[in-house]
Amino acid sequence: MSSDELAALYEHTAAAAQRLTETIAEVPALENDATRAQKIAFRKLQEASWALLPSVDDFLNANGVLLSSPAKPTSRPSSPAYDSDGNPLGMPPPHQPPHHPSPSSRGSMQPENDHQPPAESQDIPGSGAGSAPGSPPHEDVDGPSAKEPRDPSKKKRAKENGGDDDEKKDPAAADSVSRRIAAVLEIGLQPPLDETEIFRLVMYGRTSSVPSEETKAMGRILRGFGITDLNVWRNLFATHAHDTRTHDDMREQLRQVDELVDLGDRLIKREQEIKRLLDEADTSSFGLFALRQIEGIKFAKDWKGLAGRGSRKYKQSYNESVFAQQHLELRSMTAKQRSEALGTGGAWDDQFTLWKRQNEVTVTSRNQILTLYNACGAVVLLDPVWDIRTRRTKGFAKMCDAIYESLGADDNDEDDHPHTTKAFHEKTSNILSSVLKHLKMLEIRADVASFLKEHPPTFMVSH
């Protein structure tokens, strides 16, 4: 990166922090449109953006870049306290922003009215939206490009913290996460999801690792779910109730369509059967999604329980056993023979090493969904974006922290279980139960209820 590019990056970052300061000053004026929790979350985001600037300075100095006309904002307040309404003590009033950046630094800023909550269908600033559609679900589209390969020495740290190590080293990555958090908080100001939105989410929600989809899903957590009308609910799910017919039943009914003589009758009946098959596929997919999420969370809980002395050896034995199940030759070996074949220099060393790397991504994804489940509850069983098969984007941990703080900002610090996060979990659990009931998936509904009772969220964030 050239000196000019680095200088431009600095000016953009400084301008973003300044714009955020101005937006923060406007938050108290929102009054009923912003809860105390949301105000405090905005303040936390402001502090994070101000804290970003020194790291940019260090980064530029390390690269020998001298700024001729830096757009550095005025100094930030240190460790501000908050009043009972979530307003920081000592901050300037809304009509007196602490600094106005120079025109050159405002070129990359959002329009003056950009504090209005964006529609969920819009791309999220800094989210990487606009990537080529159809990206594979495990592709980290927010990751390093082919032209800028990752430093191998960072691989282990990045794997353990979900990419946060890169954010500490790369101001641009940190700025992207900050902008995504800001977008999440803005989406959270929108009204709760209504019946139609919940229906579309359940039946046609997107399973994706695209940052914009993950950002919108985080925003839905803050929006929450509105009061549902039973009649609307019943009508929406009327054609999606679980079909108990077997594959043989399906084939027989499709054969009967072929035997219809009248062309018009045949077209109408075939259209009905196609829709029935599609609806049944959507319904079955959601049922399988719920069960898959439950098993993934249970696995993650057990896996995290493997800590302390002997855990590394146990995990190695687990990996060897699972890998061997996929290969007939290895299944016929004794445990000792298998360990030798899979060990360094063994006949299966290369294949086993590659498989372990791929499996680490799977395990990490499950652990991250467990983190979100413990923080926010049953929403991970409802929103398809949180599919355990999908690798989380960089910045997931920081965004999860921000969501948790925003949900629980109104809680009494002495409470063991924050009432706002617990209330959101209970509301989501009821919505999930209602969905499964109207889909006539009563057995899966019972399994979900048992899981939520036997494995309740901790209502804490633990990465």
Sign of CA dihedral 151, 154, 159, 165: negative
- Please give the Cα distance from 152 to 134 (Å, whole number): 28
pLDDT of residue 55: 56
Percent of the chain topping pLDDT 70:
59
pLDDT of residue 141: 35
Sign of CA dihedral 372, 375, 377, 379: negative
Name, of 270-284, 293-307, 415-429, the range with top average pLDDT: 293-307
pLDDT of residue 250: 82
Those residues whose C-beta lies under 8 Å from the C-beta of residue 303, and which sit 6 or more positions away, are 363, 366, 367
Place of tokens 């467990």: 370
Helices (H) and strands (E) in the chain, counts: 17, 0
pLDDT of residue 173: 67
Place of tokens 């590019």: 5
pLDDT of residue 53: 55
When pLDDT is averaged across residues 53-70 and rounded to a whole number, the result is 53
Phi, psi of 207 (to 5 degrees): -90, 115
The number of beta carbons lying within 10 Å of the beta carbon of residue 216 is: 27
pLDDT of residue 22: 63
For residue 309, pLDDT over 90 is answered with: no
Phi, psi of 126 (to 5 degrees): 75, 10
Comparing 293 with 55, the larger pLDDT belongs to 293
Q: 195-217 pLDDT, tens per residue? A: 999 999 998 887 666 888 999 99
Comparing 153 with 185, the larger pLDDT belongs to 185
For residue 17, pLDDT over 70 is answered with: no
When pLDDT is averaged across residues 255-278 and rounded to a whole number, the result is 88
pLDDT of residue 458: 92
Amino acid at the residue 228? T
- Please give the Cα distance from 436 to 451 (Å, whole number): 14
Sign of CA dihedral 97, 100, 105, 106: positive
- Please give the Cα distance from 244 to 38 (Å, whole number): 45
- Please give the Cα distance from 127 to 130 (Å, whole number): 9
With H, G, I as helix, E, B as strand and everything else as coil, classify residue 192: coil
Output the six-digit token pair for 320.
């060897």
Among residues 2, 301, 62, 45, which one has the least CA distance to residue 184?
A: 45
pLDDT of residue 373: 96
When pLDDT is averaged across residues 103-118 and rounded to a whole number, the result is 38
Task: Look at 162-176, 267-281, 392-406 and tell me which has the smallest mean pLDDT.
Answer: 162-176
pLDDT of residue 275: 83
Mean pLDDT of the chain: 73
Task: Write down the domain spans for the chain.
Answer: 1-105, 288-454
Phi, psi of 88 (to 5 degrees): -75, 135
162-179 in b/e form (b: 16+ CB < 10 A) is bbbbbbeebbebbbbbbb
Residue 354 and residue 336 in contact, taking contact as beta carbons nearer than 8 Å: no
Which whole-number Å values give the CA distances from 213 to 2, 24, 454, in the listed order?
A: 33, 25, 30
Q: How confident is the model at residue 451 (pLDDT cuts 50, 70, 90)?
A: very high
Comparing 158 with 136, the larger pLDDT belongs to 158
pLDDT of residue 19: 66
Comparing 15 with 367, the larger pLDDT belongs to 367
When pLDDT is averaged across residues 332-348 and rounded to a whole number, the result is 88
Those residues whose C-beta lies under 8 Å from the C-beta of residue 33, and which sit 6 or more positions away, are 189
Comparing 28 with 462, the larger pLDDT belongs to 462
Comparing 211 with 98, the larger pLDDT belongs to 211
pLDDT of residue 419: 54
- Please give the Cα distance from 186 to 117 (Å, whole number): 5
pLDDT of residue 41: 62
- Please give the Cα distance from 359 to 381 (Å, whole number): 22
For residue 99, pLDDT over 50 is answered with: no
Q: Please give the helix or strand (H or E) that residue 18 lies within, else none.
A: helix 3-26
pLDDT of residue 247: 81
Residue 425 and residue 451 in contact, taking contact as beta carbons nearer than 8 Å: no
pLDDT of residue 9: 66
Among residues 274, 288, 227, which one has the least CA distance to residue 448?
A: 288
pLDDT of residue 253: 87
The region, left, alpha or beta by phi > 0 then psi within -120 to 50, assigned to residue 224 is: left
DSSP class of 82: B
pLDDT of residue 308: 79
pLDDT of residue 456: 96
Q: How confident is the model at residue 462 (pLDDT cuts 50, 70, 90)?
A: confident
Torsion angle of the four alpha carbons 404, 409, 410, 416, in this order, in degrees rounded to the nearest 10: 60
pLDDT of residue 273: 87
With H, G, I as helix, E, B as strand and everything else as coil, classify residue 221: helix
Percent of the chain topping pLDDT 90:
27
Which spans in 136-262 are helix H? 155-161, 164-169, 171-187, 195-204, 211-223, 230-236, 247-258
Comparing 385 with 49, the larger pLDDT belongs to 385
Amino acid at the residue 63? N
Task: Look at 198-202, 412-416, 441-445 and tell me which has the smallest mean pLDDT.
Answer: 412-416
When pLDDT is averaged across residues 88-93 and rounded to a whole number, the result is 45
Torsion angle of the four alpha carbons 297, 302, 305, 306, in this order, in degrees rounded to the nearest 10: -130
Output the six-digit token pair for 270.
């075939």
Place of tokens 């306290």: 81
Q: Residue 247 CA to chain centroid, in angstroms?
A: 36
Q: Please give the helix or strand (H or E) that residue 443 lies within, else none.
A: helix 442-454
Name, of 2-16, 50-64, 343-357, 408-422, the range with top average pLDDT: 343-357
Comparing 104 with 440, the larger pLDDT belongs to 440
pLDDT of residue 246: 77
When pLDDT is averaged across residues 136-145 and rounded to a whole number, the result is 38
When pLDDT is averaged across residues 143-159 and rounded to a whole number, the result is 43
Those residues whose C-beta lies under 8 Å from the C-beta of residue 11, and which sit 6 or more positions away, are 70, 71, 104, 105
DSSP class of 381: G
